[in-house]
Structure 1
Amino acid sequence: MAINTILLDFSVNPSAITNKDERKLLQENVESVLLDYLPSLKFRHSLEIGDTFVSLYEADRNSLITVRTFDKGLVACNIEYYKDDNEKPLLTFELTHKLEKSLREKCQGKRSHAFPAIKRGGIVDRYFPTADERILEYDIDEVLYEERSPYQKIQIVHSRSLGNLLVLDDLQNMSESDLVYTETLMQRGKESYAGKEIIILGGGDGALLWELLKENPKFVTMVEIDELVMKACRKYLRTCCGTCLDEYKTDNYEIIVEDCLKILDKFIKEGKKFDYVFGDLTDIPLSPVPQGEVWDFIRLILNTSMRVLKPNGKYMTHGNGASCPESLSMFESQLKQLSVPVQFTRDHAFVPSFMEDWIFYQVQPVPN
């Protein structure tokens, strides 16, 4: 069940809109084509805005059709209606393409485009943004888990192509198809974790912990503030987390449910040091300047993490999409301003559930 919105547009000679006689003919031509595809079409209202017009129609199933012109020669046609899961669409995508072609030809359009129906307001959310805020549509067919913790909205949904997918605050985080994300974050095959002491900041989906345990580390400490995320992933994302979220303490790892900054401060006071610190927390934000609450948090995590690293240790983290070079550059500028001098490398991987190339960082204190 969802609101279906079909979007079409085509371009014409601007005079077809700005010239009064040509504008009237354009309006008549558009209406005649719409009648061919929506026989129950009824004209309701038209409004002139300068040299342009907006026309409003209705048709079967309480559908609402708007036709809007712009003086640069662009015509937009939107068809909106409600569809139950078992109902046929008002217009299939094939018919929508035919309607687009008919409008272009009847109105002597230069170019045209049509989108599949955008579905809004349904039980299942199908749309998530890329790192640079473009809209992606997913083949999600079921919501397996939904809860709001004191920290965030947690969902696990099922995608036909990706498997189960963890969504936090309406942002995709980890799917059963995303092993490459974890392997690139940990630089599998490039870093040796055997016998090493490791701390993971965040990582509530359990995927990083599960993969690190396969590398025979001495001990892994994971600090995750949101226990509800772990409980959800333990049940619905076992392909990623295996059995590591079933127990919070074993001989080779411990999961601490707490604010990671509190635990880092505790380790600093105790003089505890790690070979690897993983920052599996917030993404680098999109902002004109590296200022604000999230940037302050990132800087605090970086500087605090450096204090628990062994001299030859490494801080490993994810960055943002490769489509966001400005935010990545700002993050790198912050690395150059840490309380201790560091050197860094970066790697990338195409992450299936993100549908984009993602950047990962490896940060190391400069030897004295």
Structure 2
Amino acid sequence: MSANTVLFDFTIDPSRIGDDSLRADAVKLIRSELERIFSDLKFTYDMHTVDGYFVILSENKILITIRFYNQGLITINIEYYLEDAEESKLNFDTSKRLENTLAKKLKVLNGQILPPIKRGNLPRYFPSSDERIIEYDIDKILFEERSEYQKIQIVHSKTLGNMLILDELQNIADVDLIYTETLMQRGIENYKGKEICILGGGDGALLYELLKEEPKYVVMLEIDELVMQACNKYMNSICGDVLEKRKGDNYEIIVGDCMDYMKRFIQQERKFDYVFGDLTDIPISETPTGEIWDFIRSILEHSFKILKPDGKFLTHGNGSSCPESLRMYEDQLKLLKPPVKFTTAKAFVPSFMEEWVFYQVSLA
């Protein structure tokens, strides 16, 4: 079951919006065409507004809003509710034909129809890195709970497999090995016999792949126990059994705040060959200020205090479509003391449906 919203947008000469007679003709024409699909439409309400005029039409289970903006925009929003087995009177093909008919009869400058937006019992939409809406073919929710730190969902996609969603943001899916391999620079970095610290990494994918490289020891610091429990049950294709065992001959998972443990490592003078920042992505913001940016700077500063002189800090950045935020992150790297140098790598991540940027940082 879902509530469906179909959106039509038309741009016309603004003078036609301000003319009462022309606007009335447009309403009559739009209603006439809609009644070919919804035969029992009733005129429910209309009102003049500061920026234009709007009309509400309704039928059983259907609400239609037609809005005229003085600037020359007409929007038509059609909302209706469907049970699972019920067929819509307004599928995408029907909508395209309706848009084409209205565009011709209204003599618009341009028009557009969007496929139905489905809202209800399944999450279907998640944002891209630059906050564009992406629709996924999700057919079931496998897990949904809220921990002390975040909302955790694991959903199933017909094409991507199981996906981990944290606070409404897509994190990793069964098909996303390329994400982990690019983060760890598989085939470029040599992890054999090395000591490694993972900050975050609660889905277990990075730890699982690193252990295949025969490291000396890996310690993973993850704050959210519930994320690991969920991934252990539903994301085995990417994490194997490492979240089940929690400790092996050459690895250990510690549940706690990574900042607290890094401070302990600094006091103990414990050093690593590699530190992975598998935590929050680079924020999308106008300036590098705020709580998340402060957290990122603190992570960078503490990470280099537990790295060996020839060690590396590796982390994920954000989408290639966010160059301003990536530049601000690189500006923060340039402010680090002692100075560092960095390289980047890119990969198209299937479940993100976009190219992602990864950073490799070492002392200059």
Output the TM-score relative to the length of structure 2: 0.97
Match of 1:41 in 2: 41
Segment drifting more, 1-10 vs 296-305? 1-10
Match of 1:276 in 2: 274
Match of 2:75 in 1: 76
Match of 2:4 in 1: 4
How many aligned residue pairs are there? 364
Asked if 2 retains the 8 angstrom alpha-carbon contact of 1:20 and 1:51, the reply is no
The SS at the match of 2:253 is: strand
1:71-126, Cα deviation, whole Å (9 max, x unpaired): 23221111011222222123111111111112112212232111111112x12111
Identity %: 55
**Letter of the structure 2 residue corresponding to residue 116 of structure 1:** P
The SS at the match of 2:95 is: helix
The SS at the match of 1:326 is: helix
Match of 2:100 in 1: 101
Report how far residue 40 of structure 1 moved. Answer: 0.9
**Residues 165 and 51 of structure 1: CA distance in aligned 2, closer, same or farther (over 3 Å):** closer
Match of 2:335 in 1: 337
**Letter of the structure 2 residue corresponding to residue 148 of structure 1:** R
Quick one: distance in 2 between partners of 1:297 and 1:72? 44
**Letter of the structure 2 residue corresponding to residue 86 of structure 1:** A
Match of 1:26 in 2: 26
Segment drifting more, 17-26 vs 47-56? 47-56
Quick one: distance in 1 between partners of 2:246 and 2:27? 67
Q: Structure 2 regions of 5+ residues with no counterpart?
A: none
Asked if 1 retains the 8 angstrom alpha-carbon contact of 2:37 and 2:89, the reply is no
**Letter of the structure 2 residue corresponding to residue 342 of structure 1:** V
Report how far residue 179 of structure 1 moved. Answer: 0.6
1:115 aligns with 2:119: no
Match of 2:87 in 1: 88
Report how far residue 127 of structure 1 moved. Answer: 0.8
**Letter of the structure 2 residue corresponding to residue 118 of structure 1:** I
Asked if 2 retains the 8 angstrom alpha-carbon contact of 1:279 and 1:316, the reply is yes
Asked if 1 retains the 8 angstrom alpha-carbon contact of 2:303 and 2:313, the reply is yes
**Residues 108 and 263 of structure 1: CA distance in aligned 2, closer, same or farther (over 3 Å):** same
Alignment of 1:236-275 (within 5 A): 236-275=234-273
**Letter of the structure 1 residue corresponding to residue 14 of structure 2:** P
Asked if 2 retains the 8 angstrom alpha-carbon contact of 1:315 and 1:363, the reply is yes
The SS at the match of 1:66 is: strand
Quick one: distance in 2 between partners of 1:181 and 1:51? 47
Alignment of 1:137-152 (within 5 A): 137-152=135-150
Asked if 2 retains the 8 angstrom alpha-carbon contact of 1:200 and 1:221, the reply is yes
CA RMSD of aligned residues (A): 1.3
Quick one: distance in 1 between partners of 2:264 and 2:217? 18
Quick one: distance in 2 between partners of 1:245 and 1:52? 58
1:222-281, Cα deviation, whole Å (9 max, x unpaired): 111111111111110011001211211111111111111111111111111110000000
**Residues 38 and 214 of structure 1: CA distance in aligned 2, closer, same or farther (over 3 Å):** same
